[in-house]
């Protein structure tokens, strides 16, 4: 079955053709951008495609089998369209790109010829090059569940079902000082036990990172202030006075799930799974081998 509509096939049969490429970029946050290698703005059923980035593509390949095909697209870092700081912040990582072949004289004649995701992005000299990976690359991703003692659910999601709306699991604060690039001294968390927000999330409510969410690696008390260590990430720097909200974290252990969140019945790990220490140990007289639970 041919993927091209008959109107476009009839155009291909002519001695002179007028076709160009259009790219529809869909970021994971829902933002949609349209680009074309034509020299003027095109409007299709799937959206509006602008030419000002000068987006162009390398040779495209499509092979049989399970190999991952790639094609590179190159464009300018325009201040109002694709910005260097947005790429550095990871907003385009894993974005979906739909490639269309369009008759620019009659934009109603077009065909979707490729759907891919953005892989590696390189930036230099005011331009960027994005690698588009075919959907086959998803076959290289791990699927299914791992049998481990730790829970594999995200705290508060549909599998975890822990309620995070309680006041004890939420707090607000502001940055008082900076220690390096990823360590903050903050107010608003005084009186909270050390480690309560470790492995939790921080969402900025003001400042250059407003709206972004960070992962908290560690939280400890230091007098009247708290010290937060965030997972390293790209993006604008933090600033003194930037406000945030934090949500308590979980280390994915059964003990934390039971004692901290009272959510043991929804634990998604296998806490009774014997480890290598049990497999390689010797039978001893004081050992208990009654088949009972490893975790009470």
Asked whether residue 10 is domain-assigned, the answer is yes
Same domain, 104 and 20: yes
Same domain, 14 and 117: yes
Contact 252, 224 (CB under 8 A): no
**What pLDDT, on a 0 to 100 scale, did the predictor assign at position 162?**
92
pTM, whole model, 2 decimals?
A: 0.60
- Three-state DSSP at 73 gives strand
Q: How many CB atoms lie within 10 A of CB 22?
A: 27
Which residues neighbour 143 within 8 Å (Cβ) at sequence distance 6 or greater?
Answer: none
d(CA 118, CA 70): 10
Asked whether residue 260 is domain-assigned, the answer is no
Tokens 């994915």 label which residue?
252
Asked whether residue 243 is domain-assigned, the answer is yes
Contact 53, 38 (CB under 8 A): no
Structural domains counted in the chain: 2
- Three-state DSSP at 25 gives strand
Domain CATH for 14: 2.40.10
Asked whether residue 46 is domain-assigned, the answer is yes
The region, left, alpha or beta by phi > 0 then psi within -120 to 50, assigned to residue 261 is: alpha
3-state SS, 158-209, equals: CCCCCCCCCHHHEEEEEEEEEECCCEEEEECCCCCCCCCCCCCEEEECCCCC
Same domain, 190 and 126: no
Asked whether residue 147 is domain-assigned, the answer is no
Sign of the CA dihedral with 235 first, then 236, 239, and 244 last: negative
Residue ranges making up the domain that contains 102: 6-140
Note the pLDDT tens digit of each residue in 58-108. Answer: 544 544 444 445 566 655 555 467 777 777 777 888 888 888 899 999 988
Same domain, 27 and 126: yes
Pairing of strands 183-187, 170-179: antiparallel
Tokens 């945030």 label which residue?
244
Same domain, 199 and 111: no
| Bridge partners, 33 (sequence order) | 25
- Three-state DSSP at 89 gives coil
Note the pLDDT tens digit of each residue in 15-68. Answer: 899 998 888 888 888 888 888 888 888 988 878 888 865 555 554 454 444 444
Note the pLDDT tens digit of each residue in 148-203. Answer: 889 999 999 999 999 998 999 999 999 999 887 789 999 998 888 899 999 999 99
Rounded average pLDDT over 130-146: 72
Same domain, 177 and 112: no
Contact 239, 208 (CB under 8 A): yes
Asked whether residue 156 is domain-assigned, the answer is no
E runs forming strands in the chain:
19-26, 32-36, 42-44, 47-49, 56-57, 70-76, 96-103, 110-124, 127-134, 170-179, 183-187, 201-204, 213-222, 225-230, 243-247
Asked whether residue 254 is domain-assigned, the answer is no
pLDDT band at 6 (very low <50, low <70, confident <90, very high): confident
Same domain, 202 and 76: no
d(CA 199, CA 260): 13
Asked whether residue 216 is domain-assigned, the answer is yes
Same domain, 126 and 221: no
Contact 44, 8 (CB under 8 A): no
């Amino acid at each position: 079955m041919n993927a091209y509509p008959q109107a476009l096939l009839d155009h291909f049969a002519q001695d002179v053709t007028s076709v160009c490429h259009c790219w529809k970029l869909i970021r994971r946050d829902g933002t949609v951008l349209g680009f074309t290698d034509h020299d003027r703005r095109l409007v299709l059923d799937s959206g509006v495609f602008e030419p000002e980035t000068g987006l162009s593509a390398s040779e495209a390949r499509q092979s049989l089998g399970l190999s991952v095909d790639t094609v590179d697209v190159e464009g300018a870092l325009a201040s109002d369209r694709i910005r260097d700081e947005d790429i550095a912040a990871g907003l385009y990582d894993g974005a979906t790109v739909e490639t269309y072949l369009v008759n620019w004289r009659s934009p109603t004649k077009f065909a979707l010829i490729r759907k891919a995701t953005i892989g590696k992005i390189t930036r230099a000299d005011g331009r960027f090059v994005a690698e588009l990976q075919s959907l086959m690359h998803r076959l290289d991703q791990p699927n299914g569940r791992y049998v481990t003692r730790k829970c594999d659910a995200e705290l508060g999601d549909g599998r975890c079902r822990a309620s995070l709306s309680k006041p004890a699991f939420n707090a607000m604060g502001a940055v008082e000082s900076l220690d390096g690039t990823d360590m903050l001294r903050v107010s608003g968390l005084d009186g909270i036990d050390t480690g309560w927000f470790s492995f939790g999330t921080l969402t900025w409510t003001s400042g250059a990172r407003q709206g972004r969410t960070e992962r908290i690696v560690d939280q400890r008390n230091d007098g009247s202030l708290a010290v937060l260590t965030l997972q390293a990430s790209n993006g604008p720097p933090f600033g003194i006075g930037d406000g945030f909200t934090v949500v308590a974290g979980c280390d994915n252990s059964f003990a934390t799930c039971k004692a901290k969140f009272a959510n043991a019945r929804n634990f998604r790990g296998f806490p009774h799974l014997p480890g290598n220490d049990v497999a390689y140990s010797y039978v001893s007289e004081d050992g208990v081998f009654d088949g009972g639970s490893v975790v009470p």
